Amino acid sequence: METKELIRECAEVAERIEATAPERQHLFHFEFHAILQRMKAKGIEIPAQARALDERLGDAAFEAEHENMPL
């Protein structure tokens, strides 16, 4: 995949995430993180906004996974 395509894909998925209800956004973490990893592997600089979104999604996914876990 070319640089422009990866950047466009990243932007499109970010838009879909923002258009999704907050309680369901974490479901995009795997897909979004994979795009960022492909960008990084190609040497494409990850925008700060995309890094922040990835971190937020990762935190939300972790919380969702461990939400009702007994102590």
pLDDT digits (tens, 9 = 90+) for 8-60: 999 999 999 999 999 999 999 999 999 999 999 999 999 999 999 999 999 99
Q: Does residue 71 surpass a pLDDT of 70?
A: no
For the question of whether the overall pTM of this predicted structure is more than 0.75, the answer is yes
Stretch (H or E) spanning 19: helix 3-19
Q: Does residue 1 surpass a pLDDT of 90?
A: no
For residue 36, give both structure tokens. 């960022």
pLDDT number for residue 70: 65
Taking the CB of residue 53, how many other CB atoms lie within 10 A of it? Answer: 22
Residues 36 and 50: beta-carbon distance below 8 Å: yes
